[in-house]
Chains A and B, each alone.
Chain A
Amino acid sequence: MPILWLFLIVSGIAIAGYYLGLARVMRSAGGDRRHMHSLPSYYGGNVAIKAAVPALLLMLVWLLVQPMIVNNSVSALIPDSAIADASSRGLVLSEVRRAADGMDRALAQGTMDASMANDPQADPDDVTSRLQDAGAIVTSQITQPVLNAAQSYRMQNQRGNQFMSGVVIVLALLGALWGLRGAQADFRARNVVESAVKMLLIGAASIAILTTLGIVLSLVFNTIEFFRLYPASDFFFGTNWAPSFSGRGGSSDLGVLPLLWGTFYISLVALAVAIPIGLFAAVYLSEYASNSVRSVAKPLLEVLAGIPTIVYGLFALLTVGPLLVSVFGRDGLGIMQAGTAVITAGLVMGVMLIPFVSSLSDDIINAVPQAMRDGSYGLGATKSETIRQVILPAALPGIVGAILLAASRAIGETMIVVLGAGAAARLSLNPFDAMTTVTAKIVSQLTGDADFASPEALVAFALGMTLFVITLALNVFALYIVRKYREQYD
């Protein structure tokens, strides 16, 4: 754990710097803290920040960059001939990494000595057997190029780590010295520390941007990679989804339309359940219910929103599915083949969305000014007339926004469809058919053996991109509508 140690050393330097800074400024002020510009702790903090922050930042960047550089240089060591037909450079590289990890393990257990680990002429068979003795997971016989690459990988990483440790510690010491120089009574330590803290706060706030950036970049790069292997037009306009599991490309049909249709259909069923129930529930709670009913029913309904989606998934698979089959299945109406179907997933998802629609609509209905209600009652309208003809039209933009947000939830929902909707991708109108969705296929294409080079795996990123764009558009639009609506009554 050299990184942990390094972290502890840097922290140690920072803590030591803190107390040295305190002592120094005390001396400089002649032991009287009234002569100092700032509180003593700020002088210590100044030293500690200058010691720790640059050093730790450097460490972080180094840890991110080093594997990339090492991977690139090692990758160059592997000749094309060393890559078997059914393999890819990525797979060989992970083999190299495993071999290198195995060597570390073998060295630690003493089944291999350092000279052998570093000897380029070492016998690959001997190394393989020794690695296996040490309990390392090595899939097959290590070939000469792999062994050499693994040795080079280890060497570079070792050197990199040593170098990093040295540079980071020196940087921490330099930072501490720089901070100590400033530990004078007239130094504006508070201002320095506060601007450093402010930078930290800005950094924390920027993580939201970094996350979005991370999502977009990881989707975009892999999607581009996918479209290099598989034509984009076939993906967007293909009506057949049939990934092959053995073949590499070519034989797979990866058309997104059946998945989009499944997503759309299930969401539609879900909204058909959630919108009327949610809306009526919201109307009842905000306009009719007495305080005591409201204080019981509202949190109870919201419990439905707090239940993890895996629970709903299981509910769909094991309770609702069999129930529907017993009614519509072979023993009943005979129109349902299996428990997993559009109707199952849609129904359960609808239940999940009820509180989502109802609490958002409740807020929005409550935001309609009382003056509107008074105006309507004053004209002799009944409550329901007021609700239908004045309140709901007034709240309509907000409610549409809420419904769009619910729709985006439905489209992005994963567990319920993975467990409740089935796995068959088809373009059908029958709600009792099994269908599948974009999210379910992202899961099935990316779990299992993660070989990111094949179009069958990469298609998941293109699906993710599609999902991201659709939900983002819905969200932005919905938030825009809701905000406009709120401004109207502010």
Chain B
Amino acid sequence: MYDASLSSGAAPKPRGKSLLVQDARTRKRNAAEKRFRAYGMTAILIGLFFLVVLAVSIIRSGVPAFTQTVVDVEFTLTEEQYTAAEGELFKTKAYEGLLIEQIRDTLEARGLEVAFDAGAIERLLGKPGGTLREHYRANEQDLGSPVSFKLAAASRVDGYLTGRVTREALQDSRFMQASDLDLIDALVSADIITRAFNWNFITGADSGVDNPGGAGIGASVIGSFFMMLVVLALSLPIGVAASIYLEEFAPQNRFTDLIEVNISNLAAVPSIVFGILGLAVFIQFMHLPQSAPLVGGLVLTLMTLPTIIISTRASLKSVPPSIRDAALGVGASKMQAVFHHVLPLAMPGILTGTIIGLAQALGETAPLLLIGMVGFVARGYPDGVLAGFTEPNSAMPAQIYTWAARADASFYEKAWGGIIILLIFLLTMNIIAIILRRRFERRW
């Protein structure tokens, strides 16, 4: 073969070499081609690798936030003990004493011998006396019969069981002492300490700096909800109105150009700048209440509007002109043609864009930092619908940031858990958007 190509190369015709033999240069070029292709594949794999790492670290670090360590004790209080305890000066202390006695009895009954005092119980359980007393004052009929209490354990107990706090690294402090670990071990083997699903994390409110175990994200979910209501109520009508004007009515002039330029630039302005705007205009200038979901909603509305306008215009544009012509042809006014025919046809696209815009707004944090939604400890739910808008509250991303910024590392777990909840909301919204698009998408 090689000879053949040589001889034919020497002859005046045909000039070329045989096609069936790859020359050295082609081999080299094909190798370069393969390398290049591999680079591309690597880039995709790196991107996906990061996604996987992100997902794994969120799930691994966040899932523990949904369970909590509880001390599950069966507690019986007789009528006499109740009256006696209520008669004392330090009432909760008295309940605590009774609890300690019962725990000691239980341990002894199972043949476990550990020395502990009231201090140890307080370090493990906080102040359990209050919880007990509250229960019996509310349910006097429970007196005399055994009641099962699930008392939330302190975050260090959690840490010890999950390996975050180790015996070697532990230094005696007012939070935990080495001797407490023996007690914990004993309680675990007696099945008194167990893990339970932490409903409080989903429904509860923030707890303040010193009690990571009791922190919940519920209140800030409500805060986010009210904020999203504001965003939806403002950005959808305004966004649709602005898009209709720009797409259907706006004449070609300087004013229209100015609006167009503004919208495309606003879409790329850093979100923190919107926070500054909110701070200066809504709080400094209009004196709206700080940390209120209303203000957060207003800021996020301004931030989301460009996104919504851009997607709404795209869906208005995709309605073919023949529809408008048909409406105008039977004598409808331009306004009627738009509102009766074009807008309904564009609605699925508009809604999809709005949901995606809302999802973006839901996860946005930076502007909320500036209008005071961070650092605010949302200790409870708002009192009513109106208060939901105007009273200080936190929002999901702001709450997550607050937890991440706290010194106590036990809050990190809460922050990851919060992220899981936030992502579940975002995922749901995006899935709804995708379904809407699939279901109603029209190809002209």
Contact = CB atoms under 8 A, between A and B. Distances in A.
A254 interface: no
B40 A280 contact: yes
Interface stretch (A122-130, A211-219, A229-237, A324-332): A211-219
Contact of B374 (A289, A405, A447): A447
Interface residues of A, number: 94
A283 interface: yes
A215 B33 contact: no
Interface in A303-333: 303-304, 306-311, 313-315, 317-319
A303 B51 CA distance: 8
Contacts of A67: 286-287
Interface residues of B, number: 90
A408 B268 contact: yes
At the interface, is chain A mostly helix, strand, loop or mixed?
A: helix
Contact of B250 (A205, A277, A476): A205
A412 B430 CA distance: 25
A284 B419 contact: no
Given A280-B43, A414-B271, A315 B57 contact: yes
A472 B269 contact: yes
Nearest to B46: A277
Interface in A407-456: 408-409, 411-415, 418-419, 439, 442-443, 446-448, 450, 452
A358 B249 CA distance: 35
A467 B273 contact: yes
A423 B291 CA distance: 24
Contact of A419 (B29, B262, B404): B404
B197 interface: no
Interface of A: 1, 4, 64, 67, 97, 190, 194, 197-198, 200-209, 211-212, 214-215, 218-219, 221-222, 276-281, 283-285, 287-289, 297, 300-301, 303-304, 306-311, 313-315, 317-319, 351, 354-355, 358, 382-385, 387-388, 405, 408-409, 411-415, 418-419, 439, 442-443, 446-448, 450, 452, 460-461, 464, 467-468, 471-472, 475-476, 479
25 contacts: A67-B287, A204-B241, A206-B259, A208-B263, A211-B305, A218-B277, A284-B41, A301-B44, A301-B51, A306-B430, A311-B54, A311-B58, A314-B412, A314-B419, A315-B58, A317-B404, A382-B33, A387-B36, A412-B271, A412-B272, A414-B271, A467-B273, A468-B273, A471-B273, A472-B265
Given A304-B51, A307-B423, 17 more contacts: A64-B286, A194-B333, A194-B335, A198-B245, A201-B241, A203-B241, A204-B241, A218-B285, A281-B44, A301-B48, A310-B365, A311-B54, A351-B47, A384-B36, A385-B32, A414-B369, A450-B283
5 closest Cβ contacts across the A-B interface? A412-B270, A308-B363, A284-B40, A218-B280, A280-B43
Interface of B: 29-30, 32-33, 35-37, 39-44, 46-48, 50-51, 53-54, 57-58, 61, 237-239, 241-242, 244-246, 249-250, 258-259, 262-266, 268-277, 279-281, 283-287, 290, 302, 305-306, 309, 333, 335, 359, 362-366, 369-370, 372, 374-375, 386, 397, 400-401, 404-405, 412, 415-416, 419, 422-423, 426, 430
